[in-house]
Amino acid sequence: MQKKLIAAAVAGLIAVPALAQTNVTISGNIRAGWESYKITASGHDNESRVSDQSSGLRFNVVEDLGGGLKAWAQLDYRGAVDTGSLGNTGNSGVGFMGNWGKFTIGRWDVHYNETAALLGANRAGSLQTFLHHGLLSQAHTGASIANATRTPNVLMWDSPNWNGFTGRLAYSSAWAAGPAPAPNEGNSTAAAGNPGAGYAWTGAIRYQNGPWAAGYSYWRGDQEARGAGINTVDQRGHRLNLGYTFAMGLKLGFAYDRSSLERNNNLGDNRRSAWYLPVSYSWGPHAAYFQYARAGDATNTATNTGANAWSVGYDYAFSKRTSAGIFYTKLNNNNGGSYDLFAIAANGATNTVAGEGVRQLYIGMNHAF
């Protein structure tokens, strides 16, 4: 009996150092509020609701493997506090990291999120106030570049920081929904043509040092189910970002996006340019925001397909973790445009049709932990 106790004690002592090399962190945020949403066209009533704004719970794991090499993993799981439903995952993956950078296998924000990452966003507004995710990431009649959300099936490398410069290269073996399953993951018998032929790749370079922020991102996504007689719509996207923060708390930004839908039939390609101007001012726990975005008409369309949107808001930080605010956002489509605010499907809002505009009044709060 004594020998068994000694053996158990020795085994415990051996296990402790190995366990100490693994760090598990639990974090997340709860973001929700009340919104009044209305399509500004006849025949539409005001939609009033409590809406979740991408609340989530994140698990981060880092294990020191020695020699400067670490294994890491993240699972970002989403849940809606308004309805109690559980959603899909946010940025989630597994990989290695070291002084050479970070390697990821998983599902992650690429390309569409570059403007927010560099120029920032508000602390307590709805997702619909993120105009860089809205107009800039919709190429034509609601078609989303880089899914306007996380890209699945990703292999990605993020560089270390070189005097303010960072870079990213990513490849997706199946970035968008194919015939079946969705997203299609290379099942060559799922439909006619070659469902496994779709892929995407993206590259970004950024600079953040002192008051300056700048960056460029490129996206290329080729559709699944390629083959003779099958119409495909491929995507190309370019995004430029520039920002400057003054010492007194004023922050100015500018983003330019040129995206296209490239078709293999006689309908022709749809290309459009868009730009975005965010302005914010912070003083103490207070912050005020103004944004404006405009999308030009797409090529090879018979009607005016452009749009513009603006948003104004204020939020107050009660602490480093808790903030609350009020925001008003309005989008105006030209007679052939059908742009939408970002992520409206998540809170049950009605989509626009050509020529309709929308507006949203949102009062909400965000708590990070």
pLDDT, tens digit only, all 369 positions of the chain: 444 444 444 444 444 444 446 899 999 999 999 999 999 888 888 999 999 999 999 999 999 999 999 999 999 999 888 888 887 789 999 999 999 999 999 999 999 999 999 999 999 999 999 999 989 998 876 689 998 899 999 999 999 999 999 999 999 998 876 545 555 565 555 555 565 678 999 999 999 999 999 999 999 999 876 666 667 789 999 999 999 999 999 999 999 999 999 887 766 788 999 999 999 999 999 999 999 999 999 988 878 999 999 999 999 999 999 999 999 999 999 999 999 999 988 777 888 888 899 999 999 999 999
E-assigned strand segments in 232-306: 233-245, 250-263, 270-283, 286-295
Tokens 């719509």 found at: 233
In sign, the C-alpha dihedral spanning 319, 321, 327, 329 is positive
Q: Is residue 6 part of a domain?
A: no
Q: Is residue 4 part of a domain?
A: no
- How many whole angstroms separate alpha carbon 359 and alpha carbon 215? 31
Residues 6+ apart with CB under 8 A from 105: 93, 94, 95, 154, 155, 156
Q: Is residue 342 part of a domain?
A: yes
Q: Is residue 69 part of a domain?
A: yes
Residues 6+ apart with CB under 8 A from 57: 26, 28, 76, 77, 79
Position 184 scores a pLDDT of 56
Position 347 scores a pLDDT of 76
Position 190 scores a pLDDT of 53
- How many whole angstroms separate alpha carbon 57 and alpha carbon 78? 6
Residue of 133, 54, 56 lying closest to 342 (CA atoms) = 133
pTM, rounded to two decimals = 0.88
Q: Is residue 12 part of a domain?
A: no
- State the Cα angle at 246 between 248 and 285, rounded to 5°: 45
- State the Cα angle at 213 between 207 and 217, rounded to 5°: 60
User: How many domains in the chain?
Assistant: 1
Domain that holds residue 91: 24-368
Position 21 scores a pLDDT of 61
Q: Is residue 263 part of a domain?
A: yes
Tokens 């009533």 found at: 45
Q: Is residue 67 part of a domain?
A: yes
- How many whole angstroms separate alpha carbon 164 and alpha carbon 160? 10
Q: Is residue 16 part of a domain?
A: no
We report the CATH number of the domain holding residue 39 as 2.40.160.10
Position 238 scores a pLDDT of 97
Contact 357/331 with Cβ under 8 angstroms? yes
